[in-house]
Chain A
Amino acid sequence: GNSVTQMEGPVTLSEEAFLTINCTYTATGYPSLFWYVQYPGEGLQLLLKATKADDKGSNKGFEATYRKETTSFHLEKGSVQVSDSAVYFCGMTTDSWGKLQFGAGTQVVVTP
């Protein structure tokens, strides 16, 4: 069946370090892919998305490229800030309504 797998956390980084969070998917058909961010005690916010192969989603310095050949959608940021500390969820949808399936989430902790 369909599934999303992302790297386990926590990921601890110093400010200005490079961040990568791996995400791979298994799906029939051609899913749309997403990264969401969750700050403590809050709901999820859409960070970026890509709807077809080779699309690159970007927002707030974060980027992810939809790689069909490796079924991946890894999240990257070149220089993290303390304010990027949060839980990041990789998600996908394979239906036209947009019902999402998520990975387990990766906690990122950025220290000054």
Chain B
Amino acid sequence: DGGITQSPKYLFRKEGQNVTLSCEQNLNHDAMYWYRQDPGQGLRLIYYSQIVNDFQKGDIAEGYSVSREKKESFPLTVTSAQKNPTAFYLCASSINEGGAFFGQGTRLTVV
């Protein structure tokens, strides 16, 4: 079945550590996105990529980095510069105006 897979489902980070969240899709979609969701809040765009080897900052890119070396993969690194990383992270992909498909999310907690 085609879809988007995010891993891990739960992730714990110590202060000062970088962590990487995985996002893989087999939908052959060109565009991929990372959103952050805080409890009771909406979704805020972190980064997006519309083509391999190219990506753009979203509304809250500070403290995050991404890469897009393959069409299928769009990993997100939460760096130590992100002061409040505890949140639910959602990856999505799309091919046109028909709607984006989302993964099941990764819940990141700072310990």
Q: Considering the chains assembled together, what is the distance between the CA atoms of A37 and B4 in angstroms?
A: 17
A58 at the B interface (CB under 8 A): no
Beta-carbon nearest neighbor of A34 in chain B = B99
CB-defined interface of B78-111 with A at 8 Å, one 1/0 digit per residue?
0000000000001010111111111111010000
B98 partner residues in chain A, CB cutoff 8 A: 32, 49, 51, 98
Task: Give the size category of B's interface with A.
Answer: 20 to 34
Contact A51 B102 (CB under 8 A): no
Contact A43 B99 (CB under 8 A): no
Known: A44-B102, A46-B101. A97 touches B96 (CB 8 A): yes
Contact B105 A97 (CB under 8 A): no
B42 partner residues in chain A, CB cutoff 8 A: 89, 102-105
Q: Considering the chains assembled together, what is the distance between the CA atoms of A41 and B37 in angstroms?
A: 11
B31 at the A interface (CB under 8 A): yes
Contact B90 A46 (CB under 8 A): no
Contact B99 A42 (CB under 8 A): no
Q: Considering the chains assembled together, what is the distance between the CA atoms of A43 and B50 in angstroms?
A: 21
Instruction: Give, as a whole number of angstroms, the nearest-CB distance from B32 to chain A.
Output: 10
CB-defined interface of A15-50 with B at 8 Å, one 1/0 digit per residue?
000000000000000001010100001111110010
Q: Considering the chains assembled together, what is the distance between the CA atoms of A89 and B102 in angstroms?
A: 13
Instruction: Give, as a whole number of angstroms, the nearest-CB distance from A43 to chain B.
Output: 4
Known: A97-B50, A99-B31. A51 touches B43 (CB 8 A): no
A105 partner residues in chain B, CB cutoff 8 A: 41-43
Q: Residues on A close to B: CB < 8 A?
A: 32, 34, 36, 41-46, 49, 51, 89, 93, 95-105, 107
Extra A-B contacts (10), CB below 8 Å, given A32-B99, A93-B97, A95-B97: A43-B90, A44-B92, A51-B97, A96-B96, A99-B45, A99-B94, A100-B33, A100-B100, A101-B45, A104-B41
